[in-house]
Amino acid sequence: MEREIVRLDMDRDFEAFEELSVISFGEGTNSKKEMYQWLFDKNPYNKSGNMMYLLKEGDKVIGCDGLLPNELYVNGKVLLTAHSVKSMTHPDYKKQGIFRTMTQNSCERGLKDGVDVVIGLANDQSYPAYQRFGWPTLFEKEVYVKPILINNILKRRIKVGFLASMGNAVYSSYMKNKLKNQMDKEITFEILDRVPEKVQECWDKYKSKYSVMLVRDYKYLNYRYNERPDVNYVTVLAKHKGEIIGFAILHNSVANGSKMTSAVEFFTDPTSERYIKSLADGLAKYCYENDLEYVVIGTGLYGKYKKALLDNGFMITRKPPKNNMMIANILSDRVTLEEITGHENWHITQGDGETELDL
Residue that wins the pLDDT comparison between 248 and 154: 248
Instruction: Indicate the residue type of 261.
Output: T
pTM: 0.92
Q: For each of the domains in the chain, give its residue range(s) and CATH number, in order of start.
A: 3-140 (3.40.630.30), 142-319 (3.40.630.30)
E strand map for the chain: 3-7, 51-57, 60-74, 77-89, 117-122, 137-140, 142-147, 187-192, 212-214, 234-240, 243-255, 258-268, 294-299, 315-316, 325-330
Percentage of the residues of the chain whose pLDDT score is greater than 70 = 93
> 154-171 pLDDT, tens per residue?
455 555 455 556 665 666
Sheet strands (E) in 28-90: 51-57, 60-74, 77-89
Report the pLDDT averaged over residues 134-140.
Answer: 96
Calculate mean pLDDT across residues 212-231.
Answer: 97
Burial 193-225 (b: 16+ CB within 10 A, else e): eebbeebbebbeebbeebbbbbbbbbebbbbbb
Split at pLDDT 50, 70, 90, the class of 153 is low
Residue type, 267: F
pLDDT at 348: 92
What confidence tens digit (pLDDT) does each residue in 98-124 have? 999 999 999 999 999 999 999 999 988
Rg value, the chain, Cα: 21
Residue 154: what pLDDT?
A: 47
Overall average pLDDT of the 27-37 stretch: 91
pLDDT at 27: 86
Higher per-residue confidence, 23 vs 174: 23
Better-scored residue on pLDDT, 318 or 169 = 318
Least confident window among 53-57, 275-279, 351-355: 351-355
* Angle, in degrees to the nearest 10, between helices 151-158 and 161-182: 140
d(CA 312, CA 278): 9
Among residues 87, 154, 148, 83, the alpha carbon closest in space to that of 115 is found at: 83
pLDDT exceeds 90 at position 356: no
DSSP letter assigned to residue 271:
T
